[in-house]
Structure formats: structure tokens, C-alpha cells
Amino acid sequence: MPYTRSSDLSQHTFLVTGGAGFIGSHLLDLLVESNAKKVVVLDNYSTGRKENIEHFASYASIEWVQGDITQLSDCQKVCIGIDVVIHLAALGSVPRSIANPIATHATNSTGFLNILLAANENGVKKVIYASSSSVYGDEKTLPKTEGKEGRPLSPYAFTKQSNEMYAAIFGDLYGLPSIGLRFFNIFGERQSKEGPYAAFIPLAIQAAVSGGSLRLFGDGTQSRDFTHVSNVIWAMICAVMAQNQRKAMVFNVACGKSTSLLEIVKYLEVISGNKIQLFFKPSRKGDMRNSIADISQAQKILQFSPICDLREGLKKTYEYFLLKTQCGFMVG
């Protein structure tokens, strides 16, 4: 029987790393809604934003810890008494990893190893972590299917592949159960549109809201399996509730549909009534040409199905950014 949004998590204690981030703050919303017994949030606020979590200030079930996953001692402290770790803290962005591979490795690889070590030492029952569609690298077969990974195309992709390998090793050697969720091109409310590493959809929405311009790398026909944040949050809850068939498992999390960048632009022009001026730039190193997920394994084993399709998600996200702009807030 599929899980519902009213799934009771009152018997579980959680550690959420990166809880002040775009994805993490949405996860906290659902954990609170699902009556989680206790949630410890670890964040260093380097990319997470305190405004994402201001509405949790009065919740006694949430404990806030400012710390860094690159410090093993920080990870050890927050894993005490935890049943389930949901690990989201990372330095995202393929271009960022190419520009600064050392920082990406320290956070994404060393930080993940620290979390596994601390979880194992403290008897954590399960580690759920954010992997990425980037692990498919130069494997051109579509749709992307678990077990058919390619050579990574960027330092970021390598860190995500290494995370999955470490999780498998900890399962084999120490019996630590884990589920890696390969997220495909997440977008949604609270996503940052600022800085040099902002993702495509928030930048496109910003252009739609203002009637401005948008820079596209490539010819715009490249495609992605864009996935609203509510779908990945729901996948995490499904992973919490599921029984591991093996100690270390990985699943694609997406909608199973491919959409080009130009199609995204066209739809945003329709819902906004504004024309977006496009400037085309050469394709970037490290980017895959096309991507679409086979989500059959997540559907079968995790009982996961998307709860928000692309158009609904784009409309929600556009309305969020529009409201923030109209109210005079800076949306990062």
C-alpha cells in the first residue's frame, strides 16, 4: 500500500544535514507535518539560508546545531540518539566543482564519509542521502537506469559516485543500511536564483517575472527530467518507511519525463505573459546532453510515485517568485 502524506513518524528521531537549504527546509516541513519525534538539524549556513527556516522557530521538536560535516567531531555529536540520518549537506553545481574541486571534495566526499562513520558509531538504523543523476556521466543510454552508470564528467559527479561506493562498503563491512536517492534536476520554491551557480529554472523564472533576458548554454534543445522539490521530499519519506532489501540501495528520483530547456522557456512565457530574450552561449564542460530517469525501481521498492508534475511545479514556483517580487522581498 502506498504511503500517504499523513504517514506517522512519531517513533523516529532524525538528523537532517543541510536542513537550512532549499531541499532541507522543505523536508523539515514534511517531518513536522508527519509528527517526527525529534529532528536535529546540522548546517553551517554556507549555502543554506536562515530565512528558509524562520517559520520553525517555535517548534520544540527541532534542535538546531551550527556545525560542519567536514568536521568528524561535529558529525559524531549530532548522531547521538538518532534513528535515521537524512544527509543533504553538499556543495552542489557542476560548474562550481570544476572551478573549485578541492572544496567540493572536502564537503561532498570527506563530509559524507564523516557522516557514515558517525552514524555507524552511534547505531543509526538507516542513512538516506542525496545522490545525483550526474553519476550516469558519459553513459548515453536513455532512460537512465540504476546499474548502468558511466564515467563521471565532473568533480561533482565523481563525489556522488564515491558516496554511493562508500555507502556500499559501509553496508558490506559494518552492516550500515543506506538508501541513496539519485535526484534529477530539482526545482521549486526557496531555490536560489543568485550567484554564479544558480540553476536554470530559477533563472528562467526570474526572467519570466521581469520580462528580462536569459543565458542558455548550448542550443536549448538539450533535455532534463525536471523534478519539483515536493517529489524528492516525498521520495525521502518513502525511503524512511521502506524496508531495505539490501544494506546499500540506490534509486532514481524524478518524474520519468524529458523536457527541453526551450520548452521550459515557452511554458514560462505562457504563464507569465512576458517574452524572455534568449542569449545562447557555448555548451559547458561537464554537462550531460540529455537525461531522463527510469523510476520503476523506486516505484516498485520504495512505493514512490511523483506527486507533482512539471507544469504544476513550474506554476507553483513561478507564483512563489512572483509574490516575493511583488512584496518587495529579495528571493535568493
The H or E element spanning position 115 is helix 111-121
pLDDT in tens, the chain (332 residues): 344 544 678 889 999 999 999 999 999 999 998 889 999 999 999 888 888 888 887 788 899 999 999 999 999 999 999 999 999 999 988 889 999 999 999 999 999 999 999 999 999 999 999 999 999 999 989 999 999 999 999 999 999 999 999 999 999 999 999 999 999 999 999 998 876 657 899 999 999 998 889 998 999 999 999 999 999 999 999 999 998 778 999 999 999 999 999 999 999 999 999 999 999 998 888 787 889 999 999 999 999 999 999 999 999 999 999 988 877 654 44
SS3 (DSSP) at 178: strand
Residue 193's contacts (CB-CB under 8 Å, 6 or more residues apart) are: 202, 203, 205, 206, 321, 331, 332
Cis peptide before 282 (omega within 30 of 0): no
Tell me yes or no: is domain 13-187+227-256+291-308 CATH 3.40.50.720.
yes
What is the biggest distance separating any 2 CA atoms in the chain, rounded to whole angstroms?
57
Residue 45: how many CB atoms within 10 A of its CB? 12
Domain ranges in the chain?
13-187+227-256+291-308
Q: What is the pTM of this model?
A: 0.92
CA distance to 4, 26, 93, 120, 184, per residue, from 226 (Å): 23, 17, 15, 34, 6
